[in-house]
Amino acid sequence: MASLLDFNTNLSQITGETTLLYKDIARNVEKTKRIKIIDFGIGQPDIVTFKRIRDAAKEALDQGFTFYTSAFGIEELREKIAQYLNTRYGIDVKKDEVIITPGAKPALFLSFILYINPGDEILLPDPSFYSYAEVVKLLGGKPVYTNLKWSREEGFFIDVDDLQSKISSKTKMIVFNNPHNPTGTLFSPNDVKKVIDIARENKIILLSDEIYDNFVYEGKMKSTLEDADWRDYLIYVNGFSKTFSMTGWRLGYIVARRDVIQKMGVLAANIYTAPTSFVQKAALKAFDTFDEVNEMVKLFKRRRDVMYNELSKIKGIQVSKPNGAFYMFPNVREILDVSKLDVKSLAIKLIEEKGVVTIPGEVFPLNIGKDFIRLSFAVNEEVIREGVQKIKEFVEEMMKP
Ligand SMILES: Cc1ncc(COP(=O)(O)O)c(C=O)c1O
């Protein structure tokens, strides 16, 4: 007889949402030591969803739009998303090449379920968003990491030779994320093209997560959708969480070839039936709020500059200026070497002694992150100054001979 503890064996390899762990440590420190917490760990804009979107949700509710929708989402929103992408990138996505999902994470989940067979190798950047590897392992796939290279002057970039060398007969999919969490990198159009070429030439699925595509401070955002042959290999994931500051609403989408979207719909119907009805109506209005989005991005650019300037003054920290998303990923190797701490212990000590929450880079597997910490600049300027000042004091204490 099966025991209640006979869980899915793949679960033993899953670690869960590790970024939240550091918030828990901070809560405990706040309570027991009464230290004020400054949270650079957060992964969402700190702006309440724009009024026009909130009003549209209320209106949809008042009109009784409360029933299941199609598993693919409402037609008007699928159409609106296709139009938005077509205008932005000069392409020709059709509405039946779009499926609406309850967030980008479920979109990623559907994409992984659709393709992964046990033993399949899935190429992930190192470092990368923690949940890719977890879901791949859950489904019996094998994460294979390809290094991003880093220099202080150039920041992170794709190591094309490394990526090529990791492709084997078992490679099923390459996961790409641009702009990139956790490094804040906006990959160059040339790097994007190289990734596309590798996927196309090797007949490998390219799963491209472009959820930070509106948080671009310098440079040009090249989408994988801009390749004329995208239908041959691309699963494109995006969502409303970051661009319209709608994290709690849970809404995302996938663009892929029509027959792939049909299969996604079957999975969706069996897993969650449909995305939330009135949230989809509200999202129609989101596309009218790009003035607000642009203001938010300008604000984030100022915050990025403040955080970058202040962090750059700290001896022992090497930081590159990120061009996208809202994360900074400074190298702290020198501090680790002097203090003989690993990055996880360093992040915990920083919370315990100064109340400043950062995320140790090793949360974003596998190896590269062991020299880095992630800070989010989705917090106000004063808090950024105060928090970085505390980091400076902390580092000075750690680096004392
Ligand atoms: C790279 C990346 N993809 C996907 C997500 C999840 O987005 P959503 O809130 O739409 O599920 C996040 C959220 O932090 C992210 O950083």
Residue-by-residue DSSP string for 121-166 = EEEEEES--HHHHHHHHHTT-EEEEEEEEEETTTEEEE-HHHHHHT
Taking the centre of ligand 1 as the mean of its atom positions, its distance from the CA of residue 342, in whole angstroms, is 27
What are the backbone dihedrals phi and psi of residue 376, each rounded to the nearest 5 degrees, phi first? -95, 135
User: Which residue has a Cα nearest atom 14 of ligand 1?
Assistant: 43
| Integer-rounded Cα radius of gyration of the chain | 21
Taking the centre of ligand 1 as the mean of its atom positions, its distance from the CA of residue 355, in whole angstroms, is 26
DSSP single-letter state for residue 368? G
- Residues with a CB atom less than 6 Å from ligand 1: 43, 103-105, 129, 177, 181, 209, 211, 239, 241, 247, 252
Taking the centre of ligand 1 as the mean of its atom positions, its distance from the CA of residue 5, in whole angstroms, is 31
Residue 369: the pLDDT is: 96
Q: Closest ligand 1 atom to the C-alpha of 105?
A: 11
- Going by C-beta distance under 8 Å and a sequence separation of 6 or more, which residues neighbour residue 200? 206, 227, 229, 232, 233
Residue 348: the pLDDT is: 96
Give residue limits of the domains in the chain. Answer: 9-48+291-399, 51-288
Taking the centre of ligand 1 as the mean of its atom positions, its distance from the CA of residue 43, in whole angstroms, is 8
Q: ∠151-152-157 over CA atoms, to 5°?
A: 40
Q: Closest ligand 1 atom to the C-alpha of 240?
A: 10
Residue 205: the pLDDT is: 98
Residue 94: the pLDDT is: 98
> Which tens digits make up the pLDDT trace of 292-343?
999 999 999 999 999 999 999 999 999 999 999 999 999 999 999 999 999 9
Q: Closest ligand 1 atom to the C-alpha of 44?
A: 14
Determine contact, residues 226/79, Cβ cutoff 8 Å.
no
Mutate to test the pocket of ligand 1, among 101, 110, 111, 129 (most ligand atoms within 8 A of CB): 129
3-state secondary structure of 319: coil
Determine contact, residues 330/391, Cβ cutoff 8 Å.
no
Q: Closest ligand 1 atom to the C-alpha of 180?
A: 1
Residue 14: the pLDDT is: 85
Taking the centre of ligand 1 as the mean of its atom positions, its distance from the CA of residue 208, in whole angstroms, is 12
Taking the centre of ligand 1 as the mean of its atom positions, its distance from the CA of residue 1, in whole angstroms, is 39
Mutate to test the pocket of ligand 1, among 99, 242, 363, 364 (most ligand atoms within 8 A of CB): 242
Greatest C-alpha distance within the chain: 68
9-48+291-399 maps to CATH 3.90.1150.10:
yes
At 324, the amino acid letter reads G
Taking the centre of ligand 1 as the mean of its atom positions, its distance from the CA of residue 396, in whole angstroms, is 34
Q: Closest ligand 1 atom to the C-alpha of 325?
A: 16
Residue 17: the pLDDT is: 64
Taking the centre of ligand 1 as the mean of its atom positions, its distance from the CA of residue 161, in whole angstroms, is 28
Mutate to test the pocket of ligand 1, among 241, 243, 244, 326 (most ligand atoms within 8 A of CB): 241
Residue 12: the pLDDT is: 86
Taking the centre of ligand 1 as the mean of its atom positions, its distance from the CA of residue 105, in whole angstroms, is 6
Residues of the chain falling short of pLDDT 70? 16-17
Residue 16: the pLDDT is: 67
User: Which residue has a Cα nearest atom 13 of ligand 1?
Assistant: 43
Taking the centre of ligand 1 as the mean of its atom positions, its distance from the CA of residue 305, in whole angstroms, is 24
Please tell me the total number of residues recorded for the chain in this structure: 401
Q: Closest ligand 1 atom to the C-alpha of 106?
A: 11
Taking the centre of ligand 1 as the mean of its atom positions, its distance from the CA of residue 286, in whole angstroms, is 18
Q: Closest ligand 1 atom to the C-alpha of 252?
A: 10
The CATH number assigned to the domain with range 51-288 reads: 3.40.640.10
Report the distance separating Cα 235 and Cα 78, nearest Å: 16
